[in-house]
Amino acid sequence: MIPAPLHRHLRSSRYPRSSRYLRRILLALTAFLTVAAGALTTATPSQAADQRPCDLYAAAGTPCVAAHSSTRALYAAYDGPLYRVQRTSDGTGKDIGLLTAGGYANAAAQDSFCTGTTCTVTVVYDQSPRHNHLTIEGAGGAGGADTGVPADALPVTAGGHQVYGLSFSGHMGYRDNATSGIAVNGQPEGMYMVTSGTHVNNRCCFDYGNAETNNQDTGNGHMDAINFGTECWFAPCSGSGPWGQADLENGLFQSDDGHSKNNSNTGNHAPFATALLKNNGHNHFAIRDGNAQSGGLTTQYAGPEPNKPGYSPMHQEGAIVLGTGGDNSNGSIGSFFEGVMTSGMPTDTADNAVQTNITSVGYGAPSRVPPGTLTPGSTISLRATTPGYTNRYVRHQNNVAVDSVTTSGSAAPDKADASWIVRRGLADASCLSFESRNYPGDFLRHQNLHVYRQPMDGSALFRADATFCPKPGKNGQGTSLASYNHPEKFLRHYDNTLYVAADGGSDVWDTTASWRDDVSWAVTQPWTA
């Protein structure tokens, strides 16, 4: 932009238009533009660093019309609530906001409010100016009324802070049937969600996106939502999933023919995964995905709309659904950390910029709590102290908790399986729970006295089964971990498997031989930080 005084100077007829005079003016203008260009170049990195997904999409001409997250702000300037929790004890609610504008969730406010009781998430707020807030979904054509997710089921690290994701364990879902700005009747749109490749199933339907406004299946093309799970609707599918798929109603599509046309798309197993769908509403849709911790996006399909009646053009109705299908098919499980919907179909360039921003969050990175201690937030490994077994560590293997030899030469997945994040006890904050390092939201839990790695479902029984109270090591070394709901029983390794065991009892793993050694654990630095 030319400054006003210089602009007027160039246009004034009072000055002679000699070539020397014009050269002076042109030199001055060139100098100004050079300085201005330098200033703009210098400013660009800081502006980019401050941008969030919705800032990036807006700059590309496809602004967000919905922006939902329980972990962080999706606009650099956003300073409102992320979600609302309700206490079980007295029904009181509280909005959970941010530590700073444009920052991360104030999880400590939730922890304080929910102390001594449990909380459920009742509202997921829309950060966009459209106010498309999601509330607990009512009954639909394929399922009864849903419940909200337990507020503390999915503790994760983002931006170096402990925050909470939303963990769906079936019959849980959120919806808004009276939205503003969401695409309808073939209008173009895009959407993404950050989810998890380790908490999935093959039930319908873990969706985020555009759905019917009456909780019913109203026909082909009346939905446009990103789905993430292992349900192969149109065979053949490559691999075992989970896949990002397009739920366009009456089908989870991986291509215009429905089935996978991409043999390399065998599934995205990343603990934190980006799943993205965009659709011009008439003759083209695309599915992309990636690892939400690192790297870029892969286009798994980009091509024509499904070649069945009703999908070209689309007939979206403009509701928003999270965690279920459009008719409230609610048998799915899944994890949700953030997601947005746009007005218009974003470019790949804009999507790529958003993916770069997502990976900068550091989902699942080590917390700021020093590792190797029983302080909530610390990452640890638990080593056996039984003579002859001191190279064995607690790990999960095929969902079962075992003790296994782990060394510096072990494979990276094995080291990750033997690493645990210490959390406040799910049933008693004075005790502890242990979250899997590489399966967010999964905890050590005893069931019928055997110990497993399982996703937290929010129930009182699970909370009790997954809570252990530390005591001085029974053999004089390390720590022994008493079961919260069976305080006479302690976490024990026996025959390479973990149990909760008493010192003498009716079960074979209750044998008194080496019991004191087998229930004593050295808390060590984690194999995976």
pTM for this prediction: 0.89
Closest CA to 487 of 430, 434, 420: 430
Main-chain dihedrals φ then ψ at residue 54, nearest 5 degrees:
-75, -25
Question: CA–CA distance from 242 to each of 195, 199, 265, 455 (Å)?
Answer: 11, 9, 10, 17
Catalytic residue among 207, 289, 327, 403: 327
**DSSP designation for 149:** P
Amino acid at 317: E
Q: Residue 299's closest CA among 286, 314, 312?
A: 286
Residue 231 annotated in active site: no
The low-confidence residues of the chain, meaning pLDDT below 50, are 1-48
> Backbone dihedral region of 481: left (phi > 0), alpha (psi from -120 to 50 degrees) or beta?
beta
Domain coordinates in residue numbering, the chain: 4-49, 51-69+136-360, 379-524
Q: What is the pLDDT of residue 51?
A: 97
According to the model, what pLDDT value does residue 21 have? Answer: 36
327 catalytic per annotation: yes
How would you label 503-529 residue by residue, b for 16+ Cβ within 10 Å and e otherwise? eeeeeebbeeebbbbbbbbbbeebbbe
Q: What is the DSSP string of 182-217?
A: ---TT--EEEEEEE-TTS--SSS--EEEEE-SSSS-
The answer to whether 408 and 453 have CB atoms below 8 angstroms apart is: no
Q: Quick one: pLDDT at residue 49?
A: 54
Q: What is the DSSP letter of 150?
A: B
Cβ contact 394:381 at 8 Å: yes
Annotated catalytic residue: which of 126, 207, 249, 256?
249
pLDDT of residue 161: 95
Of 346, 309, 324, the closest CA to residue 221 belongs to 309
Q: First vs last Cα of the chain: how many Å apart?
A: 51
Helix, strand, coil percentages, rounded to 5, for the chain: 15, 35, 50
Q: Which fold has domain 51-69+136-360?
A: Jelly Rolls (2.60.120)
Task: Give me the architecture of the 379-524 domain, per CATH.
Answer: Trefoil (2.80)
C-alpha closest to that of 363 among 144, 209, 198? 198
Phi, psi dihedrals of residue 290, rounded to the nearest 5°: -170, 175
Task: Identify the H or E element spanning 491.
Answer: strand 490-494
pLDDT score recorded for residue 145: 97
Least Cα distance to 225 among 243, 244, 199 occurs for 244
Q: Which amino acid is at 460?
A: A
Q: Letter for the amino acid at 138?
A: G
